[in-house]
């Protein structure tokens, strides 16, 4: 299976609001598998469908990912139509993003969230997450709303990063 190409800022697709998934079919399974592969190749802990040009409300994550771990011990999850139903305890922490290469910055997020989502079979699930997993969930849901972590930064810092990223693609 070939990995997806990861879109980077300022690709306009990163701004779309992803469509909810209504069909839990084989195609969705294939997209998810390909996204998981792309996430591992990109050495990221999460990847949203919008980052690979797929207009679906879906992301994959594996916060325990370690590149030295054998493939058989990986434990990725596929999160479809996610919704945060409880949140608590804000704190700032450093984030990066495969779509914003080479930049990291502090972003304030909830430290604990309760997530409701559907799995690949379409079954409704709930997950309690904290720390890195909670941050990852909020970061990926933002992607599905067309939002990047740099959008939270003060204008001066944000514009500086955006300018540098635009230069990369020129």
Residues that bind Ni ion (CB under 5 A): 97
Q: Could you give the residue numbers annotated as active site?
A: 140
Name the residue whose CB lies closest to Ni ion.
97
Q: Which is nearer to Ni ion, 32 or 46 (CB)?
A: 46
Q: Which is nearer to Ni ion, 123 or 131 (CB)?
A: 131
CB of 4 to Ni ion, least distance (A): 14
CA separation for the pair 112, 137 (Å, rounded): 10
CB of 99 to Ni ion, least distance (A): 5
Q: Which is nearer to Ni ion, 60 or 80 (CB)?
A: 60
CB of 23 to Ni ion, least distance (A): 25
């Amino acid at each position: 299976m070939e990995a997806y190409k990861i879109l980077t800022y300022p690709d306009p697709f990163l701004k779309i609001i992803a469509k909810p998934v209504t069909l839990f079919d084989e195609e969705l399974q294939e997209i998810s598998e390909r996204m998981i592969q792309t996430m591992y190749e990109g050495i990221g802990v999460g990847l949203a469908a919008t980052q690979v040009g797929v207009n679906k409300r879906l992301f994959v994550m594996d916060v325990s990912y370690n590149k030295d771990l054998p493939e058989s011990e990986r434990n990725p999850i596929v999160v479809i139509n996610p919704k945060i139903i409880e949140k608590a305890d804000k704190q700032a922490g450093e984030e990066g993003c495969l779509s914003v290469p080479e930049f990291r910055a502090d972003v304030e997020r909830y430290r604990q969230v309760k997530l409701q989502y559907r799995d690949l079979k379409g079954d409704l699930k709930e997950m309690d997450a904290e720390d890195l997993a909670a941050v990852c969930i909020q970061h990926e849901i933002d992607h599905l709303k067309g939002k990047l972590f740099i959008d939270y930064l003060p204008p001066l810092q944000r514009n500086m990063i955006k300018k540098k990223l635009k230069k990369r693609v020129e």
